[in-house]
Structure 1
Amino acid sequence: MSFYPLTFSQIFSDLLSNHIDIGLAAISITELRQETFLFSLPYLASSGQFVTATSSSISSLAGLHEKRVGSVEGTLFKALVQERFKNLVQIVEYPTLTEVFQALSNGKVDAVITDEAAAKYWVATNSTMFKLVGNGIPVGVGYGIMVNKSKGELIEKINKALLEMETDGAYLKIYNRYFSKFSNEQ
């Protein structure tokens, strides 16, 4: 088994061209994506969350009007912001989440939209620099592991493994170790 670091948008093209077998990231399961790819059972709830600098006057979603919002290229968040704010917010996309947060730190964007767990992580580990804005916004039906549509047997094996992990307690151990302090329940 080999792992390859890819930008978020590369995952989709590399799956389509069969350069990789599995896409594993914070990939929300949506109807549109299911037209092109197969997904595992959802393994975590998916939602978006806005973040801004602690020095910012933005304290609610209404404060985002006419602001620049950074997002990772290829994610659903651009469409989410456009749907919610119409043309009242300028979206600025970057290849990686690190670059998005660097843009926020450098004042190139006024806020960031990313998945809620990542947002809470960035705020928790950089609480003097960043703060959450508003509540999480549900996106899709959860995060899933993604494969090419021609790999039905592979997704069945993945689903079987996920169900076994849930049954034997491994999933709960992983969740508690890596996600519980950044979960939606807080």
Structure 2
Amino acid sequence: MQNFKKVFLAAAVTLAFSAGAMAETLKMGIEAAYPPFNNKDASGNVVGFDKDIGDALCAKMKVECSVVTSDWDGIIPALNAKKFDFLVSSLSITEERKGAVDFTDPYYSNKLQFIAPKDKEFKTDKDSLKGKIIGTQRATLAGTWLEDTYGSDIEVKLYDTQENAYLDLTSGRVDAILADKYANYDWLKSDAGKNYEFKGDAVVESDKIGIAVRKGDPLREKLNAALKEIVADGTYKKINDKYFPFSIY
């Protein structure tokens, strides 16, 4: 009888522990202002490539996940302040950022390319851009690249969201925008972007995008394992094909 009680108690503890593990909830941080990677639908729900990837990773890790939105400027400090557990919001892996957070393996590869009006000549060499006003989102690789490459020869106008940069482009307040090629690709297909086009070649070809976690967090390896699984079983391709007619992995 005594042994039966011990076995029963051990089984109950194991069951309770398993239930607790399954009930774990992780919070994913997302800007929700960067279509088609992350934005809000008409009902206010967060949608987009990043959200779908985050959901797929959570499913592989067998955890429930909820979304916490954050302004872009403060999104890394919000992660380190434990407002959420991981950040899946099209974040470029840079040496500077690696000083503040740990990154997973890249979950897609990006390029940077200018867009400007179709009916205006636009050359991207330094002499041609001298005196031009170029828009880009604040605290991005594009902004850093513009300042490092052109310095004071151009005026770099920074925006809190990519959408606001597009608004100033259509109103003529900037001559061009430098941004992620695939975000620009999506906008150029819209009514607002129909009179604009890519200009020149991509200026950065190997911008790797990763998921960020707090320094030393073992969640990084769990996310990496889940990423390998969704690539191997075709889940990643289904998500990719929902947004793009070409692979961005």
TM-score by length of 1: 0.88
User: Is the 8 Å Cα contact of residues 137 and 161 (structure 2) preserved in structure 1?
Assistant: yes
Whole-Å separation in 2 of the counterparts to 1:138 and 1:80:
9
Q: Which of 144, 147, 157 matches 2:213?
A: 147
Question: Is residue 123–residue 130 contact of structure 1 (8 Å, CA) maintained in 2?
Answer: yes
**Runs of 4+ deviating beyond 4 Å:** 181-184
Q: State the AA in 2 paired with 1:96.
A: T
Match of 2:235 among 170, 176, 184: 170
Point out where structure 1 has 5 or more consecutive residues left out of the alignment: none
Picking from 170, 176, 189, the partner of 1:111 is 176
3-state DSSP of counterpart to 1:171: helix
Give the corresponding residue for 1:18: 82
C-alpha distance in 2 between matches for 1:16 and 1:41: 19
Shifted more, 136-145 versus 94-103: the winner is 136-145
The aligned amino acid for 1:134 is: G
User: Which residue of 223, 226, 230 corresponds with 1:158?
Assistant: 223
Q: Which has the higher contact order (CA 8 A, sep 6+)?
A: 1
- Kept in 2, the 8 Å contact 1:14–1:20? The answer is yes
Question: RMSD between aligned alpha carbons?
Answer: 2.0
In structure 2, list runs of 5 or more residues that go unmatched: 1-64
Give the C-alpha shift of residue 118 in structure 1. 0.5
How is 1:75-154 mapped onto 2 (pairs within 5 angstroms)? Answer: 75-126=140-191, 127-138=193-204, 141-151=207-217, 153-154=218-219
Counterpart position of 1:36: 100
Change (3 A) 1:112 1:141: closer
Asked if 1 retains the 8 angstrom alpha-carbon contact of 2:168 and 2:174, the reply is yes
Q: Work out the CA distance in 1 between the residues paired with 2:146 and 2:80.
A: 27
CA distance in 1, matches of 2:120, 2:83: 42
Aligned length: 182
Bigger radius of gyration: 2
Partners of 2:85 and 2:134 in 1: CA distance: 32
Q: Compute the TM-score of the two structures, normalised by the length of structure 2.
A: 0.67
24, 28, 48: which one aligns with 2:112: 48
Structure whose residues are more often strand by fraction: 2
Q: Partners of 2:181 and 2:113 in 1: how far apart?
A: 5
For residue 65 of structure 1, report the CA deviation from its aligned partner: 2.5
